[in-house]
Amino acid sequence: MSQKTKARSAAPAVRCAVYTRKSTQEGLDREFSSLDAQREAAQAYIQSQRHEGWTCLPDSYDDGGFTGGNLDRPALTRLLADIQGGQIDCVVVQRVDRLSRSLLDFARLMETFEKHQVSFVSVAQQLNSATSMGRLVLNVLLSFAQFEREMIAERTRDKIAATRRKGKWCGGLPVLGYDVDSRGPRLVVNDKEAARVRAIFALYLERGALERVVEELSRRGWVNKRWQTRQGLLRGGRPFTRTSLHQLLTNVTYTGQVRHKTEVHAGEQEAIVEPEVWQRVQELLRQNGRTGGAPVRNRFGALLKGLLHCVPCGCPMTPTHTTRNGTTRYRYYACLNSRRGGRRGCPSPSIPAPEVERCVVEQIRAVVQDPVSLGPPEAKERPAGPERLPESAHRRLRCLFGPSWEASPAGEQARVLGRLVERVDYDGTQGKLAIRFSAAGIQTLTAEAATKARNP
């Protein structure tokens, strides 16, 4: 037997796994894709090392459409599992950045490889992690790969920002009410969907709560935007949730504008929601806060929960109670700072809940008797503006606080006050109370009353 033949027979078997990756899915449906080209190059290199006992494993580890900036990739996860299972001796890629573009992630992968005595080979750079020089050059190359990725990301962000400032659509998922123009990257109005969007905005102003609108949309069978990808796949068409409804109601695209981070610019697309309607919806969303207008647990009927604020320290006044003799419950409101730090936290004393609630209702009754006194404030120090309400709206508000008010359930009273009043400021040191009304809430309440009048 010749010395060459003896060397070949003595070489241990090296089980090689080929890993391929492409950041986008573009071109993956072709007969010969970028992943195929990477695999062929790696297989050819493995074949050239067959005299060293290298063999290519039949399993494919292909990540098409996955970034190299993180390790959240299905084929890579499977590859690491097989490495930990002792099924692989060497990982072969076409280029280093196919495995990872993050220096930290690459270091973690190399640690895993070394732990299980698995070498790493990059075909294009002719590098092998089995040698100290190979490991050094790998780290240098990966540093440049990460730098390149960060530069590409910066250029992409700059391009998107410049495009947004010009009011152009930058791509992404289409929204209900618009289609993507086949002649270029711009949005055109879909009349049927636009009418549905306007109806959703009107529903929120009528119902006043995300949860109620979601229930109505479900009853009608209305769903989110449905579209077809370039590959002919159907996407979207999911039922609305509170989150997706909130995203729709706060999307400035419907006002003919585009948003980039905190900036809002005039857009090329046509608006499909009137500015007045948009503003009313935003005010109502802010008033409803994080609950979206959904009913809040209020066991003891605190009508001013979330509305009453302490003037000296600016903190909310929270409802609380004490029980005497095990049966009698006394409700009152206390400043949060006072509850946490006593009188040193806030000089305002607590106030009996029935007293302050009755005072607020009486002030509202006095205000709604005057059709010129109720309107949106022009400044914080003016609790009511000069705008005149239509007589019909004024009459409906008077009915709300008429003789039937005391007979209404506490939950309904709290809901009405939560719509009508934006904020109640109580100055415990001066004994003064100031009410700030919500223009959007007034319109919502009058719209509800009109609906009930039409549909008794």
Candidates 340, 336, 302, 295; CA nearest to 319 is 302
Total-model pTM: 0.42
As a whole number of Å, the CA-based R_g of the chain is 33
Calpha distance 156→427 (Å, rounded): 53
Q: CATH fold of 178-291, please?
A: Hect, E3 ligase catalytic domain fold (3.90.1750)
Per-position b or e across 329-359, b if 16+ CB within 10 A of its CB: eebbbbbbbbeeeeeeebebeebebeebbee
Amino acid found at 38: Q
* SS3 of 197-208: HHHHHHHHHHHC
8 Å CB contact between 15 and 88: yes
Residue 392 is predicted with a pLDDT of 61
Going residue by residue through the chain (456 aa), what tens digit of pLDDT does each one get?
455 444 445 567 899 999 999 988 888 878 888 899 999 999 999 999 998 899 999 999 999 989 888 899 999 999 999 999 999 999 999 988 898 877 778 778 888 998 999 998 888 876 666 667 666 766 676 677 667 767 777 777 777 666 667 667 666 677 899 988 877 778 889 999 999 999 999 999 988 888 889 889 989 999 999 887 767 778 888 898 888 899 899 988 898 888 766 677 787 888 999 999 999 998 888 877 644 554 544 556 788 888 888 888 888 888 888 877 766 778 888 888 776 666 666 777 888 988 999 998 888 888 777 655 554 444 333 344 334 446 666 677 777 787 778 878 887 888 888 878 888 999 888 888 898 887 767 777 766 666 665 555
CA distances from 421 to 47, 115, 366 (A): 78, 65, 14
Count of residues in the chain: 456
CB atoms within 10 A of CB 46: 22
The CATH 3.40.50.1390 domain(s) of the chain lie at 3-150
The CATH 3.90.1750.20 domain(s) of the chain lie at 178-291
Residues 6+ apart with CB under 8 A from 281: 201, 204, 205, 249, 440
Token look-up 């905005």 returns: 201
For domain 3-150, give the CATH superfamily. Answer: Resolvase, N-terminal catalytic domain (3.40.50.1390)
Residue 374 is predicted with a pLDDT of 53
